[in-house]
């Protein structure tokens, strides 16, 4: 019996590095408010210590920092303070309960602006070391958290939000990263917080998340350092459930991206925009006979990154997108629209005749020049324009740029964290974009319309000879879309349309 008990205890106690952990910059942000009782405060410390067993702590491995917060911020140690797990564990044991207010927003801001700086031990973004903040709280914040949490996520910090007791789930979701199912956790009491150890073990060990979770991805599961996402094969787009895939229509288009490269964007967000473009490209049927893609980046000047005729595979396009260099100056959206209208959809640039022409314009702020004139000319020429705005983008400008109706061609998100939803919606629309090939029913309808128009034209000719009415013919009228309207004006200026 004693031997069996020893074996059970051996299995249940925290193991020392049960797997090879990936390097992280990991900061604990701990609620130390007065609502937390002393014995519950000790349970939080135990939870942290047990989590540390899955981290390989070291200057070249995972670096750990910790701060407490109440009415004020109490930094305990930074990412460059300790280089061994034993030192970190001892520092956690030595922490003293603050027992004051709950300024969660202030704590997030301090974490972003101070703890995740190179001065405090965070490694440069260019090293691609994941930046993780784990926030543990038991109550409603006494300050606002949504905006500062969005800024932290936008700065590249992946946030796990753990709530204990009567924490509002909506508040937790406004703090945590997406998907919320992976980053937001709520337990009923501090006694249950230990149940999250097994949840985070697979995340922190750095294994293949797609192998250790029931991801239910229909096509492809893609692991990230502490999470995963579902992806669809080429020619499919992800459904709103984030798991299943929808096959795209065989619509063919010439698609030009216009990407804001102004200084207000920042290098980190520019990388997110590049990911957005690649995500859209993944949902399209890119081929020599299929959809072609071109891309312009604009700042004070406009730069053609690649034309419609340059690449014929999704892989080549995504590789070219990844190589784009951030311009980082002014914001001349109008100039970019002019370049698109005058040059991007020309035969010289690879545009094809009788092919749908689509443009996606992305901006994060007010343009320094007029956008309406060139946007109108482009739309009048038959180019469909989608306008995407982030952050400080101006709604009126987006409406001037976008095709009608606005609800199908204009999208806005408060921050770059929401770009994933924008990608899904736009992929859906482009995936279902109409083809240029009419069905048999459409052809039949076209023939009937043309026959009717011929008869009307003959009657109009006879009527005009008798000076009964005047008929004005516009040079830009044509029958390719079977929707031409004939305007007839009587001598008394009354009009009707057929």
Looking up tokens 């914040």 gives 141
Sheet holding 487-490, edge to edge: 469-471, 487-490, 495-497
Structure confidence at residue 496 (pLDDT): 41
Are 60 and 190 in a shared domain? yes
Are 191 and 66 in a shared domain? yes
Last residue of a domain, one of 402, 431, 460: 431
Last residue of a domain, one of 378, 402, 431: 431
Q: Is residue 79 part of a domain?
A: yes
Are 67 and 194 in a shared domain? yes
Burial class from Cβ neighbours inside 10 Å (0-12, 13-18, 19+) for residue 377 reads: middle
Are 72 and 134 in a shared domain? yes
**Polymer length in residues for the chain:** 498
Please enumerate in sequence order all residues whose Cβ is within 8 A of that of 420, keeping only pairs 6 or more positions apart, or say none: 178
Are 190 and 231 in a shared domain? no
Structure tokens at 179: 């998907």
Structure confidence at residue 424 (pLDDT): 73
Are 291 and 226 in a shared domain? no
**Mean pLDDT (the chain, rounded):** 81
Q: Is residue 480 part of a domain?
A: no
Q: Contact, 498 vs 488, CB < 8 A?
A: yes
Strands (E), 109-252: 131-137, 157-164, 184-187, 220-224, 227-231, 236-238, 245-247
> Lowest-pLDDT range, 64-73, 86-95, 441-450?
441-450
Number of domains in the chain: 3
Q: Contact, 379 vs 385, CB < 8 A?
A: yes
Please enumerate in sequence order all residues whose Cβ is within 8 A of that of 328, keeping only pairs 6 or more positions apart, or say none: 261, 262, 263, 265, 267, 270, 299
**What are the tens digits of pLDDT across the range 219-277?**
888 876 556 778 888 667 777 777 888 776 656 899 999 999 999 888 888 988 998 89
Q: Is the pLDDT of residue 95 over 80?
A: yes
The C-alpha angle 208, 209, 215, rounded to 5 degrees, equals 135
Are 199 and 224 in a shared domain? no
Structure tokens at 108: 């997030």
Structure confidence at residue 225 (pLDDT): 56
Structure tokens at 248: 């795209």
Looking up tokens 């964290």 gives 417
Are 232 and 255 in a shared domain? no
Q: State the maximum Cα–Cα separation within the chain, in Å, rounded to a whole number.
A: 115
Please state, in angstroms and rounded to a whole number, the distance separating the CA atoms of residues 246 and 472. 47
Structure confidence at residue 495 (pLDDT): 44
**What are the tens digits of pLDDT across the range 339-350?**
999 999 999 999
Are 275 and 218 in a shared domain? no
β-bridge pairing 73-77 and 253-260: unpaired
Last residue of a domain, one of 222, 245, 268: 245
Distances (CA, A) of 207 to 19, 224, 434: 8, 9, 43
The C-alpha angle 456, 461, 462, rounded to 5 degrees, equals 100
**What are the tens digits of pLDDT across the range 405-431?**
888 899 888 777 777 777 777 777 777
Are 169 and 282 in a shared domain? no
Q: Is residue 493 part of a domain?
A: no
Structure confidence at residue 6 (pLDDT): 43
**What are the tens digits of pLDDT across the range 224-237?**
655 677 888 866 77
The boundaries of the domain holding residue 225 are 211-245
């Amino acid at each position: 019996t004693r031997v069996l008990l020893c074996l059970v205890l051996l299995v249940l106690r925290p193991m020392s590095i049960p797997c090879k952990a990936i390097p992280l910059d990991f900061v604990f942000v701990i609620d130390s408010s007065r609502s937390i009782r002393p014995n519950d405060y000790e349970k939080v410390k135990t939870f942290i210590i047990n989590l540390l067993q899955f981290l390989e702590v070291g200057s070249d491995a995972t670096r750990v920092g910790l701060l407490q917060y109440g009415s004020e911020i109490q930094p305990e140690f930074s990412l460059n303070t300790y280089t061994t797990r034993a030192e970190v564990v001892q520092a956690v044991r030595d922490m003293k309960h603050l027992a004051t207010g709950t300024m969660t927003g202030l704590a997030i801001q301090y974490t972003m602006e101070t703890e995740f700086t190179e001065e405090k031990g965070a490694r440069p973004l260019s090293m691609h070391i994941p930046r993780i903040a784990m926030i543990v709280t038991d109550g409603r914040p006494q300050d606002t958290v949504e905006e500062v949490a969005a800024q932290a996520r936008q700065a590249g910090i992946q946030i796990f939000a753990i709530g204990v007791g009567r924490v509002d789930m909506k508040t937790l979701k406004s703090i945590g990263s997406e998907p919320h199912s992976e980053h937001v956790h709520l337990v009923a009491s501090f006694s249950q917080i230990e149940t999250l150890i097994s949840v985070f073990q697979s995340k922190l060990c750095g294994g293949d998340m797609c192998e250790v979770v029931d991801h239910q991805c229909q096509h492809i599961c893609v692991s990230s350092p502490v999470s995963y996402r579902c992806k669809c094969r080429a020619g499919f787009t992800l459904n709103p459930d984030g798991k299943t895939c929808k096959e795209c229509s065989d619509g063919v288009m010439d698609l030009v991206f216009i990407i804001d490269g102004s200084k207000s964007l920042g290098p980190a967000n520019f990388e997110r925009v590049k990911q957005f473009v690649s995500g859209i490209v993944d949902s399209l049927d890119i081929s020599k006979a299929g959809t072609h893609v071109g891309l312009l980046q604009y700042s004070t000047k406009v730069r053609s990154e690649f034309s419609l005729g340059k690449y014929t595979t999704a892989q080549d396009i995504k590789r070219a997108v990844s190589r784009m260099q951030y311009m980082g100056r002014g914001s001349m959206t109008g100039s970019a629209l002019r370049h698109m209208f005058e040059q991007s959809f020309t035969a010289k640039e690879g545009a094809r005749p009788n092919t749908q022409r689509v443009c996606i314009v992305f901006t994060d702020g007010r343009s320094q020049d007029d956008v309406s004139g060139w946007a109108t000319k482009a739309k009048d020429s038959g180019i469909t324009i989608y306008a995407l705005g982030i952050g400080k983008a101006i709604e009126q400008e987006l409406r001037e740029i976008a095709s009608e109706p606005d609800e199908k061609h204009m999208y806005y998100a408060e921050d770059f964290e929401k770009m994933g939803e924008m990608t899904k919606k736009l992929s859906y629309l482009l995936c279902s974009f109409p083809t240029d090939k009419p069905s048999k029913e459409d052809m039949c309808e076209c023939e009937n319309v043309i026959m009717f128009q011929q008869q009307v034209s003959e009657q109009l000719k006879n009527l005009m000879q008798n000076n009964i009415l005047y008929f004005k013919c516009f040079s830009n009228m044509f029958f390719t879309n079977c929707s031409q309207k004939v305007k007839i004006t009587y001598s008394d200026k009354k009009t009707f349309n057929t």
